[in-house]
Chains A and B, each alone.
Chain A
Amino acid sequence: MNTAAPVVIVGAGPAGATAALSLAEAGISSVLLDDNGAAGGQVWRTGAADLGPPLAYTDARGDELRRDLKRHGDLIDHRTGHEVVGLFPDLRLWVLEGGETVTSLHPKAIVVATGALEVFAPVPGWTRPGVYGLGGLQALMKTSRVVPDGPVVLGGAGPLLRLVAAQLASFGAEIAAVVDAAPWPSSGQVLRLASQPGLLAKGLAFEWGLLRRGIPVHRGSAIVEVAGDEEADSVLVAPVDENWRPVDGPRRRLEARVVGLGYGVRSNVELTRLAGCEHTFSASRGGWHATRNRDMETTVENLFLAGDGGGIGGVEVALAEGVIAAASVSERLGQGDRLKTKAAKARGRMVDLVRFQDALADWSGVRPGILAGSTEDTIICRCEDVTRGEIAAAVAAGYTDIGPVKMNTRAGMGLCQGRTCTPALQAIMASETGRPLAEAGLPTSRAPLRPVPLKALAQLPLDEAVE
């Protein structure tokens, strides 16, 4: 095991793995940490065992990536099942292995490439077993080839909605309906999406896949309730306006053995928050993310950030940013500019990709009415069982900053540390105070990010020798 690497990369998705591979090309060794059993990240997630034929609508680049990482094993120390639970402004990392042991690393430079998290919009009944994230249903297919048995209703917005529907259908799952909060894209939006013909074609392929199988797509609609005895057995679908607020109109109840929910994705900011990086809000990039300069460096020196963790851009952007971050790290370490041309090319590609992303966000990005389906009694924080009414009451009492609201309601203070409820919490605060979403603020994150055995922290050895 190579512990003399000067660089640690967190996240072995497209961005992180590409950064590691680019560094290897320049002869620089790195430690690549990821909590999964295999590299690939969200988009190229895979299971351990032999899974048979590939999943529909995926490409072979994940396998290629994993082969490349193996090939560069002399320079890339890829540690699977390693979860980073602490990242501090002095570039120290705490790494949890197998939920049992913790090591401390202290490299010269870090590339954070931790990707995105799914955004949930709580509605009555969304806490019932039988309700899953769209990404969760996808993960079951990707790692285990496990699919829902019985009618499935998928609701939400964003590209994942149709992709997951098409993938599930290709495995023979019975998709009863796709409920999309976004309306048909306008002609202007389509035109701008066409700036990336390849990506637009992909989207159309999912759409065609659904059409061909006769799967109904309810546009401009949302799931406003999940009902069932103990576990989910039906959903209520209502029409919504262009801001996703439910409006009058026919409501229908659809039988559903499995419900998939997801309203797009947002950057996973827990590490950059912990490290003390400056963050900014950008609606077209999925909300809050750390700010970076064009070399992908955050406001913390020698802490770089690539991929969806720095604002949602999708897989192609993640790949480009991985290269750019690697080039910057190489230069910073005084290892010359061998990656300069590669980085310049990547920068060129990004311009168009970002335009596509803007168009996508314009069509299906999160709208202010995202919470309108919830009621007073809807549980927002699933870890501590905090309702929308309790949060609203705290805001009404004068708690207009997210920190005091968390402390006073316990929302976001449970086991998941707010990873699930933060967007909803921010949206409630915005709607209750009448301020823009961007002013609702971002909660602080605290180490350890996951439960860590006391004995592991108590015995934390001195930093593993990282040069």
Chain B
Amino acid sequence: MKQTEIYDSAVIGGGVMGCTTALHLARGGMRVVLVERGGLCGEATGRCGGTLSLMYVPAILVPYAIRGRELWKDAPRWLGRDVGFNDRHGLDIAFTDADGETLRAEMELRAAAGAPIEIIDGNQARKIEPALSKDIVAAAHCAQDGHALSYLSGVFFHRALARAGVDIRVGTDVFGVEGGDRGFVLRTAKQSIRARRIVLAGGVWMRKMIGWFGLDVPIIGRVTQETISERMPPILASGVRVFRDISLKQAANGTVLVGGGRGSRWIEDADRETVELDPAVVNQVMMNALGSARRAVPALAVARAVRMWTGIEGIAPDNMPVIGPLPGTADVFTIGCQRSGFTAGPFMGRLLADALLGRQPEMPIFAPAFDPARLLSMAPVDRERGVPTV
């Protein structure tokens, strides 16, 4: 396409949210450019654990997560490739009665929203997952769980997007967006890009992107860590979580992934602080996570860790997604900042695309709970208390 031509939509940010939005917009007949400063799915999406779970999300997002998980299962059909989907049972376990009670209260809300979750005791949990520790007092069990190989998603999205005719501009950092008489102009390190419609899908960089339009929203970054083991004989048959602490799973190739860990941080400026992450904290969180992993699944004591990495996701103070029209500037939309966003991502992107294509979305997407405008009057995250979980 020549530089003077105008795209129907420019999607800025190539994580799961941006990729699926761009894919469905293009399939719906729009001329779409996807602009990503690194590689596709190289940030939160590619670094994430790939857990597909209904047990982490705020209750009203449960129906969306169910559909997202189904889409990952169905990836060969709409993405053209199986992204290593693993159909598993999920267990969220508690070591104390107090945790068990909070777990029950939270999970009942998710169950009421449609997640097939039941509360069981330690013995029942060990029947489902014999590798679990004897010290577990309570657990939540969900028959719909599992994971996909998130690190592969970028390659697969790339192929599908190219086939759908999306103009993919990786390695292209957007510095700002200007409104013009013929739509918008994206300023990049390379050539400028013109588009009639803008979708901001910048993950934790969403705050900065919204800032291009003169608005400040209290989106904050949360750092999560992952540690991966070498290939091991089968140990874990289900996706295991330690309540409000870590997640654990074993991939088909035998590697065990430990995600999370107590002591992880909130950060304000993802650009600056990722390079300045205090190594002492990073290391401490990893040790905490591995300690919990070992406690939950004693057989992991012999596992060897081969690599550790961090990723950052954007979070709104109410822990709800930021999806919808941006207040103040017509034809600018946002999508992101969704808890367990990898799980629901393919569905949210499709819903937004449907809305922009003038179709009736399968579930509400321009919902008040997701509306970016709500953030303008919202207080920043209280770092001590964190954000609501259900």
A410→B152 CA distance, assembly (Å): 9
With contact pairs A452-B305, A455-B302 given, residues A401 and B171 touching in the complex (Cβ less than 8 Å): yes
The answer to whether A466 has its CB under 8 Å from any CB of chain B is no
Q: Which of B289-297, B357-365, B379-387 contacts A (4 or more CB under 8 A)?
A: B289-297
Q: For B229, give the chain A residue with the smallest CB separation.
A: A454
Choose one: A89, A276, A413, A415; the contact of B230 (CB below 8 Å): A415
- Tell me which residues across on chain A come within 8 A of B168, comparing CB atoms: 397-398
The answer to whether B389 has its CB under 8 Å from any CB of chain A is no
Choose one: B38, B278, B294; the contact of A458 (CB below 8 Å): B294
- Tell me which residues across on chain B come within 8 A of A458, comparing CB atoms: 287, 290-291, 293-294
With contact pairs A90-B279, A401-B38 given, residues A417 and B307 touching in the complex (Cβ less than 8 Å): yes
A460→B294 CA distance, assembly (Å): 13
- Tell me which residues across on chain A come within 8 A of B155, comparing CB atoms: 394, 408
Are the C-beta atoms of A407 and B304 separated by less than 8 Å? no
Are the C-beta atoms of A446 and B42 separated by less than 8 Å? no
* B-contact 0/1 string along A60-100, CB 8 Å cutoff: 00000000000000000000000000101110101000000
A450→B229 CA distance, assembly (Å): 11
* B-contact 0/1 string along A434-465, CB 8 Å cutoff: 00000000000011101111110111100000
Query: What is the distance, in angstroms, from B11's C-beta to the closest C-beta of chain A?
Result: 15
A323→B113 CA distance, assembly (Å): 69
Query: What is the distance, in angstroms, from A386's C-beta to the closest C-beta of chain B?
Result: 12
Question: For chain B residues 120-135, which have a beta carbon within 8 Å of chain A?
Answer: none
Q: For B284, give the chain A residue with the smallest CB separation.
A: A460
A267→B386 CA distance, assembly (Å): 45
Are the C-beta atoms of A404 and B170 separated by less than 8 Å? yes
* A-contact 0/1 string along B275-311, CB 8 Å cutoff: 1001110010011001101100000111111111100
Q: For A390, give the chain B residue with the smallest CB separation.
A: B155
Question: For chain A residues 373-424, which have a beta carbon within 8 Å of chain B?
Answer: 394, 397-401, 403-405, 407-408, 410, 413, 415, 417
- Tell me which residues across on chain A come within 8 A of B304, comparing CB atoms: 451-454
Are the C-beta atoms of B283 and A404 separated by less than 8 Å? no
- Tell me which residues across on chain B come within 8 A of A413, comparing CB atoms: 307
A398→B161 CA distance, assembly (Å): 13
Are the C-beta atoms of A446 and B307 separated by less than 8 Å? yes
Q: For A400, give the chain B residue with the smallest CB separation.
A: B171
Which range contains the number of A residues in contact with the other chain?
35 or more
A329→B307 CA distance, assembly (Å): 32
* A-contact 0/1 string along B217-235, CB 8 Å cutoff: 0000000000001100000
The answer to whether B110 has its CB under 8 Å from any CB of chain A is no
Choose one: A89, A94, A398, A454; the contact of B171 (CB below 8 Å): A398
Are the C-beta atoms of B170 and A398 separated by less than 8 Å? yes
- Tell me which residues across on chain A come within 8 A of B286, comparing CB atoms: 457
Are the C-beta atoms of B279 and A89 separated by less than 8 Å? yes
Are the C-beta atoms of B303 and A453 separated by less than 8 Å? yes
Are the C-beta atoms of B305 and A454 separated by less than 8 Å? yes
- Tell me which residues across on chain A come within 8 A of B336, comparing CB atoms: none
Are the C-beta atoms of B294 and A403 separated by less than 8 Å? no
Residue of B46, B279, B294, B303 with most partner-chain A CB within 10 A: B279
A452→B230 CA distance, assembly (Å): 9
With contact pairs A397-B158, A404-B170, A407-B42 given, residues A88 and B279 touching in the complex (Cβ less than 8 Å): yes
Question: For chain A residues 33-84, which have a beta carbon within 8 Å of chain B?
Answer: none
- Tell me which residues across on chain B come within 8 A of A86, comparing CB atoms: 283
The 6 closest A-B pairs by CB, nearest first: A404-B39, A88-B279, A451-B304, A458-B290, A458-B291, A398-B170
Additional pairs, 19, CB under 8 Å, beyond known A457-B305, A460-B287: A92-B279, A398-B169, A398-B171, A403-B42, A404-B171, A407-B42, A446-B307, A446-B308, A448-B305, A451-B230, A451-B306, A453-B305, A454-B301, A454-B305, A457-B290, A458-B287, A458-B291, A458-B293, A458-B294
User: 10 A–B contact pairs at CB < 8 A?
Assistant: A86-B283, A397-B168, A398-B39, A401-B39, A407-B42, A408-B39, A408-B154, A450-B306, A454-B304, A455-B294
